[in-house]
Structure 1
Amino acid sequence: MPAVLEKEKNTVKKKGRPKIPDYLVYEILGNKKIYYRGYEKVLSGELPPEAIMGSSSLQAWIVALIVRFLAKSLDYKKYMLLTNEVGYFYTPQRKSKWLNLDIAIVDRKKLEQLSNTYLKIPPEVVIEIDTKADLSKIGDNYYIEKTKRLLESGIKKVVWIFTEQKKIQIAEKDAPWLIVDFDYEFEMIDGVNFNLKKLLEEDGIKL
């Protein structure tokens, strides 16, 4: 095929591609838009947006369990627990880049007046359970990149819980990152020890 016709063919293809609406953007990681997993089915009309934005029952259960545990264990005069996919501006530009957080432990003294905007100050600890992000283009590098961005923004500890692999990643700035099993007990913050396997068993959950 002549080069001119090939160029015209590619142009038609590009013009025919549907624009991905902003409501399907899950996060802005660096200069990349990360979309919700399954966004292509929304574009094709196979699924409504709500079908890909909700949490799984397992993820929701684990979030609720951890929040309940931390609410009992933390000094609530010192810390605030935020959950429900907290939006967090992690750069000085703030409005241009954000990440979603499953659970955030925030120092009340640093917490600005509550508003309808995303969080602007770094939490002390962030806990993530799996992800709703589409990883078809970025792959598992997503977890490393998101963790790095969060730590660089001033967050002291980032904990990832991977339910399928039954592993936990514990990351702190200027310290080796750990990959451990669910039964590994570690300090979450201020002497509060966390053991996910024990927590799950006490609630009657077996993974």
Structure 2
Amino acid sequence: MKSLTAEKKKRKTVPKELIYEMRYGSPIYYRDYDRVLSGEKSLEEVMGSSKIQWFLVYLILKFLMKNLDTDKYIIATNEAGFQWAPRSWRNLDIAVFDRKKLKKEKLDQKYVKTPPEVVIEIDTKADLRKYGDFMNYMREKTNDLLNAGVKKVIWITTFDKKVMVAEIRKRWFITDWDDTIELIDGININIKKLLEEEGVEI
């Protein structure tokens, strides 16, 4: 009973700005949110992306804009909010939407409800302590997205230079940055090659 009361008290005292995502009414906080509460860090520090995170987003967006049929697809970024169930939403680093499906929604200040065709995630800003490790969080978010109608989820992790590809009713697999994977419609991407083309070595 005490732990439940403590959890409810914590939820009341944590500002909504420190909530990274929401899953069935249960908040997922930003990494180091408690250090913001204690004054050790600012809100901007925990919400910001690292150099390698935003640079990879830039490279992938540049690649998509060059190779993707933008008459057929719309690319969203900037932690696009996707509401996939009541009291549930996830932030998406890069999302590729079917233009016709997305245009059925009004352009307003709410989170998008149309499932993207492809979601690309680079690491995470989520607090992982209740998950134990990154893999548990990644599996949960991936399953949520696929069950919500996303056709493909791709994770790019910088700490081990890996890429995970997940599709519903297909075998998930993890490979290296130097492997070539399909994004959508036969368009292939190779993270290591993108970096080399920019003259960047990690």
Residue 86 of structure 1: how far off its partner (Å)? 0.2
Query: 2:23, 2:120 → 1: CA distance?
Result: 17
1:25 pairs with 2:7: no
Residue 29 of structure 1: how far off its partner (Å)? 2.8
Q: Which stretch has the larger CA shift, 136-145 or 174-183?
A: 136-145
Query: 1:162, 1:186 → 2: CA distance?
Result: 15
- Pick from 52, 57, 64 the counterpart of residue 51 of structure 2: 57
Residue 124 of structure 1: how far off its partner (Å)? 0.2
1:128 pairs with 2:121: yes
1:69 pairs with 2:60: no
Counterpart position of 2:174: 179
Number of residues paired by the alignment? 195
Q: Percent identity?
A: 52
Q: Which stretch has the larger CA shift, 44-53 or 61-70?
A: 44-53
1:190 pairs with 2:181: no
- Kindly report the root-mean-square deviation, in angstroms, between the aligned alpha carbons of the 2 structures: 1.9
Summarize deviations over 1:135-186 as a string: whole Å, max 9, x none.
Answer: 0111331100000000000000000000011000000000010100001111
Query: 2:149, 2:9 → 1: CA distance?
Result: 42
Q: What residue ranges of structure 2 are gaps of 5+ in the alignment?
A: none
Q: Secondary structure, in 3 states, of the residue corresponding to 2:77?
A: strand
Q: Secondary structure, in 3 states, of the residue corresponding to 2:175?
A: strand
Query: 2:176, 2:110 → 1: CA distance?
Result: 36
Name which one, 1 or 2, has greater alpha-carbon Rg.
1
Q: Secondary structure, in 3 states, of the residue corresponding to 2:159?
A: coil
8 Å contact kept, 1:104–1:127 = yes
Summarize deviations over 1:47-68 as a string: whole Å, max 9, x none.
Answer: 2211110111110000010000
Q: Which stretch has the larger CA shift, 195-204 or 110-119?
A: 110-119
- Pick from 99, 105, 110 the counterpart of residue 101 of structure 2: 110
Query: 2:198, 2:23 → 1: CA distance?
Result: 35
Counterpart position of 1:42: 36
Q: Which stretch has the larger CA shift, 22-31 or 68-77?
A: 22-31
Q: TM-score if structure 2 supplies the norm length?
A: 0.91
Q: Secondary structure, in 3 states, of the residue corresponding to 2:31?
A: coil
Counterpart position of 2:75: 81
1:161 pairs with 2:152: no
Query: 2:109, 2:130 → 1: CA distance?
Result: 32
**Aligned partner letter, 1:153:** A
The list of structure 1 runs, each at least 4 consecutive aligned residues, that deviate by more than 3 angstroms after superposition, is 13-18
